[in-house]
């Protein structure tokens, strides 16, 4: 095997099938990269042996470098949807760790399957927990467009992810409907952590960090409560500005979202109106949920959310407050088309992925409908008395905040 340093990069050159083959490995010519460069050469020899020497016309691009360039492209491509490229960037972290400096074109279907096994198993020695199928699904949906991007740049000739079975929506599902007991515990823990930080801050003159931490738990409490009451996405609530809220009429405009259907106006429930009124009063730049500085909106609440979960022993994602809102609305008799409008979805199929009716509700509905005389089904109401005909006046009461008066 022959490697040579040309302009600071490892190049290979060998004779096979009656001719000379040479190429750039794409790796900096250091001893640390020598083994990886030899792997590139070995892959090139195998391609020639298998009659696929034409693949050597590809530009050699290490996976990690390809991933970095792809993310920069995605950042601009999805500039109006920052959560999309951030999700791609998050998936690239583990993908980059696994594939490292392997040339993009050399990655096979089997290696992608090995990556899936690695992610499912975790790494006990490094305290890396196994991932759920939804996370693996996101990783593969990030890997596939990377290969597509690589094809347009002549870094690879095929997309191995196309031959891999990606976990289905059903396999990847992680939706958790929050119970009333979990709701009470979650919000009470937010309050507890807020008070603890304020108490620590009161005992020292250098209390800035404690005050910021206390505010983060109060913001999380109000953010999650707004999601639970109004069914919004976390990003929609974080982007709330006082110019979007009319406390007089009790209306909340969501001007930007993931799709056109997401741009909507919601009737504020009384508890949400109270939360927003307090936050508008406290806001110095108009953002109801301020970020690291008061002049920008909040971008992330995961750090505070994780601390609440660690203290309370609960286990669900912040987005589950939105799922729970949809499920509670359905159990109270709200029609699926109305739920779709409130959630900001364009099609009903997506809505049904958010609604997870309890077995208790299904049993109760069966008894109510099955006991109707002459086959005429009655229209059941939940224990709160909220039925389909009440959907029009939904904004005048708060059926999902059963426990609010218990949690301060």
Cα four-point dihedral sign 20, 25, 31, 35: negative
Long-range contacts of the stretch 284-292 (C-beta < 8 A, 24+):
286/241, 286/242, 286/243, 287/240, 287/241, 287/242, 288/240, 288/241, 288/242, 288/245, 289/219, 289/222, 289/223, 289/237, 289/238, 289/240, 290/219
- pLDDT value at residue 196: 95
pLDDT of residue 332: 86
How high is the pLDDT of residue 42? 85
d(CA 68, CA 219): 33
Per residue of the chain (408 residues), give pLDDT as tens: 578 898 898 888 888 777 777 778 878 899 988 888 888 888 878 877 777 666 666 678 899 999 999 999 999 998 877 778 888 998 999 999 999 999 898 899 999 999 999 988 876 666 667 887 888 888 999 999 999 999 888 888 889 999 998 876 554 456 788 999 999 999 999 999 999 999 999 988 888 899 999 999 999 999 999 999 999 999 899 999 999 999 999 999 999 876 777 789 999 999 999 999 999 999 999 999 999 888 999 988 989 999 999 999 998 889 899 989 988 998 888 888 888 889 888 777 767 766 766 677 667 766 766 665 554 544 444 433 334 333 333 333 333 343 333 333
* Distance from C-alpha of 363 to C-alpha of 383, rounded to nearest angstrom: 14
Sheet containing 19-28: order of strands? 3-6, 9-16, 19-28
Select from 249, 250, 225 the least CA-distant residue to 237: 225
Question: What structural domains and CATH numbers belong to the chain?
Answer: 3-57 (no CATH), 63-172 (1.10.150.130), 175-408 (1.10.443.10)
Q: Is 203 exposed, middle or buried (0-12, 13-18, 19+ CB in 10 A)?
A: exposed
Q: Given this model, what pLDDT does residue 210 score? A: 93
**Model pLDDT, residue 112:** 94
- What was the pLDDT predicted at 383? 38
């Amino acid at each position: 095997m022959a490697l040579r340093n040309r302009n600071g990069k490892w190049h290979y050159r060998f004779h096979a099938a009656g001719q000379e083959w040479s190429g750039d490995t794409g790796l900096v010519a250091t001893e640390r990269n020598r083994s990886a460069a030899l792997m590139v050469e070995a892959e090139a020899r195998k391609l020639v042996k298998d009659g696929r020497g034409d693949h050597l016309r590809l530009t050699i691009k290490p996976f990690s470098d390809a991933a970095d360039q792809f993310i920069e492209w995605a950042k601009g491509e999805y500039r109006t949807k920052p959560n999309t490229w951030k999700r791609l960037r998050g998936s690239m972290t583990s993908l980059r760790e696994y594939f490292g400096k392997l040339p993009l074109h050399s990655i096979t279907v089997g290696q992608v399957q090995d990556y899936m096994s690695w992610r499912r198993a975790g790494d006990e020695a490094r305290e890396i927990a196994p991932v759920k199928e939804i996370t693996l699904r996101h990783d593969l949906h990030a890997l596939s467009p990377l290969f597509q991007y690589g094809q347009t740049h002549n870094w690879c000739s095929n997309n191995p992810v196309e031959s891999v079975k990606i976990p289905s929506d059903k396999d990847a599902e992680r939706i958790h409907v929050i119970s009333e007991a979990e709701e009470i515990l979650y919000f009470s823990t937010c309050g507890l952590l807020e008070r603890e930080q304020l108490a620590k801050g009161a005992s020292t003159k250098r209390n800035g960090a404690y005050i910021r931490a206390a505010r983060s738990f109060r913001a999380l409490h109000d953010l999650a409560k707004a999601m639970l009451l109004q069914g919004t996405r976390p990003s929609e609530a974080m982007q709330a500005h006082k110019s979007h809220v009319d406390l007089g009429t009790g209306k909340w405009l969501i001007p930007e979202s993931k799709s056109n259907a997401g741009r909507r106006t919601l009737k504020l429930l009384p508890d949400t109106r109270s939360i927003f009124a307090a936050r508008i009063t406290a806001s110095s730049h108009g953002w109801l949920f301020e970020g690291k500085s008061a002049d920008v909106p909040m971008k992330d609440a995961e750090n505070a959310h994780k601390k609440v979960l660690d203290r309370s022993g609960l286990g669900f994602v912040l987005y589950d407050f939105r799922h729970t809102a949809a499920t509670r609305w359905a159990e109270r008799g709200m029609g699926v088309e109305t739920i779709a409008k409130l959630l900001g979805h364009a099609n009903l199929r997506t809505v049904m992925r958010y609604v997870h009716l309890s077995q208790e509700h299904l049993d109760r509905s069966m008894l109510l409908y099955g006991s109707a005389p002459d086959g005429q089904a009655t229209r059941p109401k939940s224990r709160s008395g909220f039925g389909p005909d009440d959907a029009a006046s939904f904004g005048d009461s708060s059926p999902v905040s059963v426990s609010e008066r218990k949690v301060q």
